[in-house]
Chain A
Amino acid sequence: NAGVTQTPKFRILKIGQSMTLQCTQDMNHNYMYWYRQDPGMGLKLIYYSVGAGITDKGEVPNGYNVSRSTTEDFPLRLELAAPSQTSVYFCASSPRQGSYEQYFGPGTRLTVT
């Protein structure tokens, strides 16, 4: 099992550009999450999904979009990148409803200049 994989590892975007952060898990987990972590801070939930075709907003969804067409994949789309979106992005998955036993990917470090 590879667990949760994320691509790319690093990316530099110019203001106004768009990109998709990829997340894939091979554990057949229904629950998936996208977080961002700013330097010295905790993680903030952007979007989450409870299964294929079902997504919902987290704490900081503005400027982002997600889709969940399969159990395995949960891509995060940034439209019109802004410097405030410079952060490290983590994807996670979980096997059970309400369980905080989440498995995290290695992260994507994004810089918007």
Chain B
Amino acid sequence: LAKTTQPISMDSYEGQEVNITCSHNNIATNDYITWYQQFPSQGPRFIIQGYKTKVTNEVASLFIPADRKSSTLSLPRVSLSDTAVYYCLVSGGSYIPTFGRGTSLIVHP
């Protein structure tokens, strides 16, 4: 099971772009990369999933370099409501998803 490493916390200001990077050096060929967002007292919410290059949806973009040993979640123009914990997961078929401690993002006015 690929292990992931992400910063424990990040600070930003409203209107800025935030990039959260996740390292997954031993990612396997059939692994996908998935990001979740969790607000206090709520369950995690799926944000985005990708395999390679770039994926974009209405919430975020996910950038994955050619070697796939890292990935970057990009949140454009964050607002106070983006303050949350963000988790990076890597999986390729294992039924045992592993959520680390995630990255606590605080957006300041």
Which of chain B's residues has its CB closest to A59's CB?
B96
Interface residues of B (CB under 8 A from A): 32, 34, 41-46, 49, 87, 89, 91-102
Interface contact A42-B43, CB-CB below 8 Å? no
Which of chain A's residues has its CB closest to B92's CB?
A98
Question: Given B34, B43, B100, which contacts A100 in the complex, CB threshold below 8 Å?
Answer: B34
Interface residues of A (CB under 8 A from B): 4, 31, 33, 35, 40-45, 48, 50, 56, 58-59, 88, 90, 92, 97-107
Which of chain B's residues has its CB closest to A49's CB?
B95
In the bound complex, residues from chain B placing their C-beta under 8 Å from that of A92 are 43
Interface contact B43-A97, CB-CB below 8 Å? no
Q: For the complex of A and B, list the 5 residue pairs with the smallest distance between their C-beta atoms, beginning with the closest.
A: A104-B43, A98-B93, A100-B34, A42-B99, A43-B99
Name the distance in Å between A8's Cβ and chain B's nearest Cβ. 15
Q: For the complex, what is the distance from the CA of A100 to the CA of B96, rounded to whole Å?
A: 10
